[in-house]
Amino acid sequence: MTRGAARADPRAKAWGAKDMATQQQNQWIFNALGLTIPGLSPGKDDADDGAPPDGAPAPEAAHADDARSGNGAADAGGSREDDVPLAPVVAAKAKEKQVKDASDKVTAMSDDDLKKLSSADKVKMVKDLFANGKPTGDARKAQIKIYKDMDIDPAFKKREEERADRMAKTLSSDKDLQEARKNWTTLSAADKVKALKKIIAAQSKEYGFDPPQIETETTAPYTAADGSKHIVNGHFEASDGKLHLNVHAESSISQDFESALNTTLHENGHNYQARLVKDMRAGKIKPGDPDYAQAAMFDVNEDGDAYIPPKEDYDAYVKQPEEDHSRTMGADMSAKINKALDEASAAH
Amino acid sequence: MASETAAERYEAVELTENGEKPLGTVEFDAAGTLTVREEKGAAKDGALARIAQQVNGKKVMYVEAPPPEGSPRFTLASRIVNRGEPDFIPALKNYLRTYYKIELRPQ
């Protein structure tokens, strides 16, 4: 069947103008996307009779099922069992193309060029890579490459540094904290938690939310694959909103004030990120908001499949937006607080 | 890392937002004990000596490591490095850089 025959038939009447319009739209979308569905491209249908007859206007798209099955005018008037809606197929193909285009673009770019892109561009590319669900293969590699070349928004980082300065100044005069720092290993777990609660209260106040509860756990060290001794320090649990800290006698929380500070600040940083993402998704953080650029990076990193687990790629795990922020902020805040406490303590 | 286990001298430099500040000269012995040989500038108030005293009291260093499989998201884990182990001095140098913003440069 030719398109000319279709017009002569005229199936447009039988299908209804709306159906024909949909087919035309689908064809236009295929053309725009550069996609070829067997039997649907203009070249195939036109092959038997060349250009449309009678100097007709641009040819309409043939019905996809006709094109695939060879059915023609004979069944044109009724509903057909093999009718397959094209819209989902088109949408799926469009998503595949969106992922492939983003993946190809990232793969072709040097790390230097990728680093130079704005955070908004990088966020957009990650979203494109997720257009069809969790990326796999080259698309997942592209996501990892973007994370490795994504940096904390400089203005956001500066605000974190300013928060650290204010916290260090405020906490330095706390005599209990000064003493806790000096005698950390001799304190009970309860006294350690009491000291860490002061740190968390100061940090949470800076972030503008109530301090989370600290849940202590006692998890023994374990032997890693290489035979060395390891121990978990803690984690932020989004489902209960608490900081879970390991106070086992051999843990860093128990043995080292500076590490305890860092772990606690780091984990409460994840709490802050979750709140920024929530606010952004609720429309409370909009373009133009000072936190927008960083919140957008946390947003694309937030959902389960977007977070790179350590076993998949350790460097990407450390550098992905949520971990990069917690590591950078945790180390900076703990260094400033530690130094301020040291100097204040020495001054007395 | 064998060269770091022998008593070696380092220049201690504080890394600040406004640049570097020389603090003095320190030495590590094989066990990772830090001895201050000279204090300069800002460290003349005994800051370097206080820091040395603080870190010399540490029996272990904690080096960040991947958490065990199956850990909840956001879990932090460490490898425990005991004083006297080959990785102790590198871990201590990293510790000074992280928590005191002090870099030790071989002299």
Class of residue B97 by CB neighbours under 10 A (exposed 0-12, middle 13-18, buried 19+):
middle
- Set of chain B residues whose Cβ sits within 8 Å of the Cβ of A311: 66, 69
Identify the pLDDT of residue A22. Answer: 57
Number of domains observed in the structure of chain B: 1
Q: In terms of pLDDT, which residue wins out, A92 or A167? A: A167
Which pLDDT band holds residue A40 (cuts at 50, 70, 90)? very low
Q: Give the tens place of pLDDT for each residue, B3-59.
A: 444 578 999 999 988 899 999 999 999 889 999 999 987 666 788 999 999 999 999
DSSP-assigned letter for residue A133: S
Residues of A within 8 A of B58 (CB-CB) are 255-256
Q: At what angle do helices A257-281 and B88-100 cross, to 10 degrees?
A: 60
The C-alpha of A102 sits at a distance from chain B's nearest C-alpha, in angstroms, of 27
**Model pLDDT for residues A180-198, shown as the tens digit of each residue:** 999 999 999 999 999 999 9
Q: Which amino acid is present at A64? A: A
Residues A199 and B13: their CA atoms lie apart, in Å, by 28
A174 in Cβ contact with A337 (< 8 Å):
no
Which band of pLDDT confidence, cut at 50, 70 and 90, is reported for residue A200? very high
Q: Is the pLDDT of residue A2 over 50?
A: no
Asked if B78 lies within 8 A of A252 by C-beta distance, the reply is yes
pLDDT for A21: 55
Q: What is the pTM of this model?
A: 0.81
DSSP element (H, E) containing B7 = none
pLDDT at A304: 84
- Bridge partners, B103 (sequence order): B13
Tell me: the pLDDT tens digits for A219-253?
A: 999 999 999 999 999 999 999 999 999 999 999 99
From the list A235, A326, A331, the residue facing B98 with the nearest CB is A331
CB-CB neighbors (< 8 A) of B76 in chain A = 232-235, 263, 266-267
Domain that holds residue B71: 2-106
Least-confidence region, from A66-75, A103-112, A216-225, B2-11: A66-75
Residues in chain A: 348
Residue B61, C-beta contacts closer than 8 angstroms, at least 6 positions apart: B80, B81, B83, B87, B88, B91, B92, B95
To the nearest whole angstrom, how far is the Cα of B94 from the nearest Cα of chain A?
A: 12
Q: CA-CA distances (angstroms) from residue A279 to A289, A292, B30?
A: 11, 10, 52
What are the pLDDT digits (tens) for B79-95? 999 999 999 999 999 99
**Chain-chain contact of B76 with A266 (C-beta, under 8 angstroms):** yes
A258 at interface of B, judged by CB pairs closer than 8 A: yes
Q: Which of chain A's residues have a Cβ under 8 Å away from the Cβ of B77?
A: 230-233
Least confident of A67-71, A111-115, A158-162: A67-71
- The pLDDT of residue A36 is 55
Residues 6+ apart with CB under 8 A from A39: A45, A64, A67, A68
- Mutate one of B16, B71, B76 to test the A interface: name it (highest A CB count within 10 A): B76
The bridge status of strand A242-246 relative to strand B34-39 is unpaired
> What part of A 190-249 touches B (C-beta under 8 Å)?
221-222, 224, 228-238, 244
* Residue linked to tokens 């040097």: A110
Matching residue, tokens 């940090």: A203
How many CA atoms lie less than 13 Å away from B65 in the CB half-sphere?
25
Mean per-residue pLDDT, A157-174 = 97
- The encoded tokens of residue A105 equal 């673009």
Closest-CA distance, A263 to chain B, in angstroms, reads 7
Lowest mean pLDDT: which of A119-128, A157-166, A178-187, B42-51?
A: B42-51
Q: For A93-117, what is the mean pLDDT?
A: 96
Taking Cα atoms as reference points, which of A43, A38, A93 lies closest to residue A70? A38
Query: Looking at A62-66, A99-103, A123-127, which range is the least confident one?
Result: A62-66
Mean pLDDT of A269-293: 97
For helices A321-347 and A292-302, the axis angle rounded to 10 degrees is 120
A267 and B62 within 8 Å at the Cβ level: the answer is no
Name chain B contacts of A335, Cβ cutoff 8 Å.
98-101
- Residue A55 above 70 pLDDT? no
Which of A161, A230, A303 has the highest number of chain B CBs within 10 A, making it the mutation to test binding with B? A230
CA distance B74 to chain A (A): 5
The single-letter DSSP state of residue A192 is H
> Chain B: nearest CA to A324, how far in angstroms?
12
Are the Cβ atoms of A234 and B98 closer than 8 angstroms? no
pLDDT at A29: 55
Token pair, residue A247, equals: 């106070």
ipTM: 0.90
